[in-house]
Amino acid sequence: MIAPADLAHCEASIRTGSYSFHAASRLLPDRVRNPALALYAFCRMTDDSVDLTHDKAAAVLVLGERLDLIYRGTPRDAPADRAFAAVVEEFQMPRTLPEALLEGMAWDAIGKRYATLSGVYAYSARVAAAVGVMMAVLMRVRCPHALARACDLGVAMQLSNISRDVGEDAREGRFYLPTDWMDQAGIDIEAFLADPQPTKPIRRMVRHLLSDATRLYFRSEPGVGELPFDCRPGIYAARHIYCGIGREIARADYDSITRRAFTTKGQKIGWLILSTMQTLAASAMPRSAVLYGKPLPECAYLVEAAAERLPAGNPWGEGRAGELIAVLAQLKAREAARHRAALAEDRKRAI
């Protein structure tokens, strides 16, 4: 399905750019691991394209064009694009899912902030839960209950990432904590970004976010039992590795500003072993009622896009909740204004 050279490129990019996923992916069967490497390489490419450039708006617009070419069946001549195009064709990947990821990148490009925890969930749905649902599609799983729990896991992972990167993000001018938490604590966001410090209120916010992530990690677990048996250890491993980041932050008294939490190779090996044992133990247990819980409202449209059959009456969501077209239009307008300003400046210099 995927050209060997393209697959090798994807694996190399993941090995150096996403240690946690690369470790967990070793437990996946090849029929899932190979397309998953292509998926993550494409996601990594989109993330880096926006993060590693000053012209983030232009980067997002280019990514939108690349995604459009992929869904036309004429991908750009690049390993990640070709590999992901093969995945899209083979698995009939719903376009809403990678578009959700692109929308999250667009939100980053415009520097969007989130007033409430629900807003942070909405962002996490796009940049993480959408990837979780795409992983389920790669496993040929379209059960809405399993997809809802995959969204829980994706959001939990993103909350762990946000908690770990508070200081790093602040130094880059990014802010992902709910702004109403800052208002309640009487902290000016711009002052914090200018001089981020691990004060008690900030550490309390990190603890709150990690507590919510832990709740979602546990809520996600019944969904793992709905995956093919040989896929379960890899997903359990991803869950434990990312949750382990939160435990390292807790050991540092929730200071993720002066230090960056990381997990060791030994810890990862231990979690890989634990995940195999958990798979065997969980297979003997009855289904948990948690499996049938509604998805987070912010993730409902992702479940709707990928589910083979929804519950009667579809009581979960309100359809497509994204604003991709509007956000891209905003980015295009910003780019056009920047171009006009540059031309005007050139004319002044010429005169």
Q: What confidence tier does 313 reach under pLDDT thresholds 50, 70, 90?
A: low
Burial class (CB in 10 A: 0-12, 13-18, 19+), 257: buried
Average pLDDT over residues 3-27: 78
Contacts of 331 (CB under 8 A, 6+ apart): 57, 60, 61, 106, 109, 110
Q: Is the model's pLDDT at 125 over the cut of 70?
A: yes
Give residues with Cβ within 8 angstroms of 4, minimum separation 6: none
Q: What is the pLDDT of residue 323?
A: 59
Residue 19: predicted pLDDT: 63
Contact of 208 with 300, CB cutoff 8 Å? no
Mean pLDDT for 99-120 is 92
- The band of 18, judged by pLDDT with boundaries at 50, 70 and 90, is low
Reported as a pLDDT band with limits 50, 70 and 90, residue 54 is confident
Q: What is the pLDDT of residue 166?
A: 97
Per-residue pLDDT at 179 exceeds 90? yes
pLDDT of residue 317 exceeding 50: no
Q: What is the pLDDT of residue 308?
A: 81
Annotated domain spans of the chain: 96-350
Across the range 121-143, mean pLDDT stands at: 95
Q: Please provide the average confidence, as pLDDT, over all residues in the chain.
A: 88
Q: Is the pLDDT of residue 223 over 90?
A: yes
CATH top class, domain 96-350: mainly alpha
Q: What is the mean pLDDT of residues 220-240?
A: 92
Per cent of the chain over pLDDT 90 is: 58
Question: Which sign does the torsion angle of CA 106, 107, 109, 110 carry?
Answer: positive
Q: Tell me which of 132-146, 151-165, 194-208, 297-311 is least confident.
A: 297-311
**Structure pTM?**
0.86
Residue 321 has pLDDT above 60, yes or no: no
Residue of higher predicted confidence among 280 and 188: 188
Q: Chain-centre distance of CA 261, in angstroms?
A: 19
Please report the pLDDT score of residue 329 as a whole number.
66
Average pLDDT of the residues in 232-248: 91
DSSP secondary structure, 216-247, as one string: HHHHHHHHHTTS-GGGHHHHHHHHHHHHHHHH
* CB burial readout 309-338, b (16+ within 10 A) else e: eeeeeeebbeeebbebeebbeebeeeeeee
**Given a cut of 60, is residue 319 above it in pLDDT?**
no
pLDDT score at 282: 82
Q: How confident is the model at residue 312 (pLDDT cuts 50, 70, 90)?
A: low
pLDDT of res. 169: 95
Residue 310 has a pLDDT of 64
> Quick check: 315 pLDDT over 70?
no
pLDDT tens profile 241-296: 899 999 999 999 999 999 988 888 888 889 888 888 888 888 777 888 999 999 99
- The answer on pLDDT for 99 being more than 60 is yes
List the one residue out of 79, 63, 59 whose CA is nearest residue 5.
79
